[in-house]
Amino acid sequence: MIRLSINRPTTVAMIYIAIAAVGVASFLDIPVELLPDVEYPQLSINTNWPGASPEVVEAFLTAPLESATQQVRGVRKIESESSEAQSSITVEFARGTDMDFARLELGERIQSIRDDLPPDVRPQVALYIPREFQTGERVDMRYTFSGSYTFERLRDYAEEELRPQLVGLDGIEEVAVWGGDDREIRIELDRARMEAFGVRPFDVAQALNAAELIRTAGKLRRDNTEWLVSIRNDVEAAAELESLIVVPDTLGTGEVVRVADVARIHDSTADPTQYFRIDGRPAIMIALVRGVGTNALRVAETVKAKIEALRGELLPGTRLTLEYDGSREVERQLTDLRLRALAAAIVIFLVLLLFLGSFRTAGIVFATVVFSVLIAVNLLYFGKFSLNVLTMAGLAMGFGLMVDNSIVVLENIYRRRRAGGEESHEAADKGTRQVALPIVAGTFTTVIVFLPFLYLQGELRLYYLPFAYAVGFSLLASLFVAFTFVPGLAARALAGGGPRTQASDRPPFYVRFYRGVLSFALDHPIVVILLTAGAFAGSYRLFDEHVVRGAIWGRGWGQETYIQIIFNMPRGAELQRTDQLVREFETKLATIPEIERFTANVMPERALHARHLPGLAGEHLRAGRHQGADGGLLVSVRRRRGAGLRVRAVVLRRRRLAAYLYDQAARLQLRDRPRDRRGPGAAAEPLQPGARGRHQRQ
């Protein structure tokens, strides 16, 4: 291989041109995401039930879901946790289970017990993500659809016009519409008329059930084709229900009893169970989930382009607002890694130039880093890996190791050229062969360090494997480049004469410096041992006190701080009472010019308001725990010069609002919340207790 690369320079050049072309194409097409998209044999079932105690959640929510889950094939273990207003179930499957099929079957089992679960409770089945890698968001993008229309009109438009156009986008797996009013047809039975006609409630229910049916009529065969013929009957309007026959004409008198004879039918909307508003206007939430293995950045660009195209077709006075975009965090983290990698590459080149003293030599060594990375990207792409934080960290980690192999080969070739007067081809051949075994041994010694990753046990194994593969691919690629690219190019670079020699016999400055350090170390071994022990102890202390453990996300990692205002209503407070209080609160927030946007989510026993305040992480005004109704606000503050001082003013205003709530028999909690609610840095010590209403003191 070494001799071939020296004697066939054109062939080697074509090979590396092909590597570069394929590498660039792979880099542009490789899936980009924040974390490795692995398929661990676990699914999670998360369900929210606002206001329910842990005991009630366990009895009426967790237990039925566990019972249904046990019937799914391949289930190995089920773990559940019931807390206030929330149920979390983790289902582990046997290795080799088709997780797509398991997820589908689990969804069917949950749907079969849907009537046994509490109303308005929607279990969400998702792929399991280890706690260390959780980012708090399953949804990749979230838009709000708001305007001066009723909830019902906004929801119908979102369901019928917007959702179908978003579902068909490349890379989108699921589009969900939340909020709004559901249509409801109410049937009020008249007991007196039912007794007069001799009709039972069961008769009316049977007639209604028969109105919504899908029945098989038979099969139609023609030539070699067979069609299944079915009859479908859907009720579209309340008038159709009024004409349904409850008691047929069995005596031939022509008299039948219809639903309208024994009941009154109202076509209306269901009682609201939730209000969602943006800047005080009704809004609908549209959540988008991308498919497995898709490029997060590319999917986000596709969705944004489609949304922009739809803006001109929206209802007058409505707007689509991007509330959450997971690709922003992916892009920010990957851009940060790219900049760090670029900075590392520049530093490597400058160091090479400083110590090698030649642009040509430094360029050869630096080119080996570029080609090693391109080869590693090719291997990642064809190995079905994605470009994420871990794989990019693995590539960046290998930069220094990639340089080592090439420098050793190149310096040995130059040394033989200077010392023995060998021809360039001979020096390249013998110089590379002379150091081949040590280089191979050293490279595989480093690669073997990552071999234990293959034998890791537990859920993190599949997440760290891409990191190990990225480092291994880059090191093996550097070995290939050092034995093909470097000798071939060095033979051509030395063909016109030997490398530049020193003008004097005086060694370089770094050799003189190292000689002095080495002499001191040999003369004072005790001092060296003490300095080494002190450096180890100091490093361990810094690691123990300042390095965040137990989560992959460090404090402040990609977190945008919000201010979340949660106020607790008295036990048994009605939804309309909570909504009234939230509206009064919204009116006061609208007068603060620093606020860019605020959203309200009002639910039975909860209403949520929060605001985005950069630079306020860690300052909390928080109330104690309460088992009654609660609520809150979410607010975003503009980024502008001098915002820090104005943010402090907003905090003071919040405290005055807490005093206002004192007369409303409510409590107030105010806390800073990062966008990732489950990430580190989301918690902080409270500054002072919130206001507490009179009724709660009783």
For 334-380, the pLDDT digits (tens) are 777 678 778 877 887 888 777 767 787 788 888 888 888 889 989 98
CA gap 592, 262 in Å, rounded: 56
CA 209 to chain centre: 43
Torsion of CA 609, 611, 616, 619, to 10 degrees: -10
Contact predicate 189/262, CB 8 Å? yes
pLDDT, average across residues 42-70: 85
Q: Per-residue pLDDT averaged across 673-694, rounded?
A: 34
Instruction: Give 149-165 pLDDT, tens digit per residue.
Output: 877 788 888 888 888 88
DSSP annotation of 291: P
pLDDT-wise least confident of 75-79, 108-112, 226-230, 514-518: 226-230
DSSP codes, 516-573 = HHHHHHHH-HHHHHHHHHHHHHHHHHHHHHHS--SSSSPTTTTPPEEEEEEEEEPTT-
Cα–Cα distance, 279 to 298 (Å, whole number): 30
Residue 324 sits at φ, ψ, to 5 deg, of: -145, 135
The full set of domain ranges for the chain reads: 2-29+357-501, 42-127, 141-182+280-329, 183-269, 506-541, 561-697
Asked if 199 and 305 touch (Cβ cutoff 8 Å), the reply is no
Is domain 2-29+357-501 in CATH 1.20.1640.10, yes or no?
yes
Q: Are 466 and 381 in contact (CB under 8 A)?
A: no
Cβ burial of 145 (10 Å; 0-12, 13-18, 19+) is buried
Assigned superfamily of 42-127: Multidrug efflux transporter AcrB pore domain (3.30.70.1430)
Least confident of 282-296, 394-408, 540-554: 540-554
Answer yes or no: is pLDDT of 628 > 60.
no
N residues, the chain: 698
Q: Tokens in use for 44?
A: 């999670």
Residue 391 CA to residue 37 CA, distance in Å, equals 12
Q: Strand locations in 301-459, DSSP E?
A: 318-325
Give the pLDDT confidence score for residue 687 in this predicted structure: 31
Least confident of 231-235, 346-350, 386-390: 231-235
What topology does CATH give the domain 141-182+280-329? Alpha-Beta Plaits (3.30.70)
Spatial CA neighbour of 35 closest among 379, 556, 387? 387
Q: What percent of the chain is predicted at pLDDT more than 70? A: 67
Token output for 164: 């179908």
Is 117 in contact with 67 (CB distance < 8 Å)?
no
Residue 140 pLDDT greater than 70, yes or no: yes
266 Cβ contact list (under 8 Å, min separation 6): 185, 186, 188, 238
pLDDT tens string 595-612 = 667 777 776 554 444 444
Backbone angles phi, psi at 630, to 5 degrees: -145, 175
Please give the backbone phi and psi of residue 278, each rounded to the nearest 5 degrees, phi first.
-125, 125
Q: Do domains 42-127 and 141-182+280-329 have the same CATH topology?
A: yes
Write down the pLDDT at residue 521: 92
One DSSP character per residue, 118-152 reads PTT---EEEE---GGG--S---SEEEEEEESS-HH
Residues 86 and 79: their CA atoms lie apart, in Å, by 14
Fold of 183-269: 3.30.2090
Structure confidence at residue 519 as a pLDDT band (50, 70, 90): very high
Percent of the chain with pLDDT over 90: 4
Whole-number pLDDT of residue 645: 46
- Of residues 630 and 464, the one with the higher pLDDT is 464
